[in-house]
Homo-oligomer: A and B are copies of this chain.
Amino acid sequence: MLNYIFVFQPTQYQIKNFRMNHTVNPHVSVDCVIFGFDNERLNVLLIERTAGDTPAAVQYALPGDLVWEDESLDNAASRVLKELTNLEGIYLKQFKAFGNPNRVNDFKDLDWLQSYRQQPQARVITIGYYAFIRMDELHPEASSFAEKVFWRDIHEVPLLGFDHNEIVDEAIEVLRNDFDSNKIGFELLPDKFTLSQLQTLYESILDRKLDKRNFRKKVLKESIVVPLDEKQKGVLHKPAQLFELNQ
Determine if A28 and B125 form an interchain contact, defined as CB atoms under 8 angstroms apart. yes
Nearest residue in B to A68 (C-beta to C-beta)? B101
Q: How many residues of A contact B (CB 8 A)?
A: 52
A214 sits at the interface (CB 8 A): no
Determine if A3 and B28 form an interchain contact, defined as CB atoms under 8 angstroms apart. no
Chain B residue numbers with a CB within 8 Å of A123 are 69
What separation, in Å, do the CA atoms of A73 and B28 have in the docked complex?
A: 13
What separation, in Å, do the CA atoms of A23 and B145 have in the docked complex?
A: 31
Determine if B97 and A25 form an interchain contact, defined as CB atoms under 8 angstroms apart. no
Determine if A1 and B116 form an interchain contact, defined as CB atoms under 8 angstroms apart. yes
A115 sits at the interface (CB 8 A): yes
Choose among B7, B18, B177 the residue that contacts A16 (Cβ–Cβ < 8 A): B7
What separation, in Å, do the CA atoms of A12 and B13 have in the docked complex?
A: 9
Most central of A1, A2, A9, A16 by chain B CB within 10 Å? A1
Task: Using A28-B28, A125-B28 as known contacts, say yes or no to A19 and B7 having CB atoms under 8 A apart.
Answer: no
Instruction: List which A58-77 residues lie within 8 A (CB) of chain B.
Output: 67, 69-74
Chain B residue numbers with a CB within 8 Å of A9 are 12-14
Q: How many copies of this protein are present in the complex?
A: 2
Determine if B122 and A97 form an interchain contact, defined as CB atoms under 8 angstroms apart. no
Instruction: List which A76-100 residues lie within 8 A (CB) of chain B.
Output: 94, 96-100
The smallest C-beta distance from A57 to any residue of chain B, in angstroms, reads 16
Choose among B13, B74, B97 the residue that contacts A8 (Cβ–Cβ < 8 A): B13
What separation, in Å, do the CA atoms of A97 and B98 have in the docked complex?
A: 10
Determine if A7 and B1 form an interchain contact, defined as CB atoms under 8 angstroms apart. no
A24 sits at the interface (CB 8 A): yes
Most central of A17, A97, A177 by chain B CB within 10 Å? A97
- Sample of 20 A–B contacts (CB below 8 Å): A1-B116, A6-B13, A7-B13, A7-B16, A8-B14, A9-B12, A9-B14, A23-B119, A23-B122, A25-B27, A25-B122, A26-B27, A67-B99, A67-B125, A69-B123, A74-B100, A97-B127, A118-B118, A125-B125, A177-B181
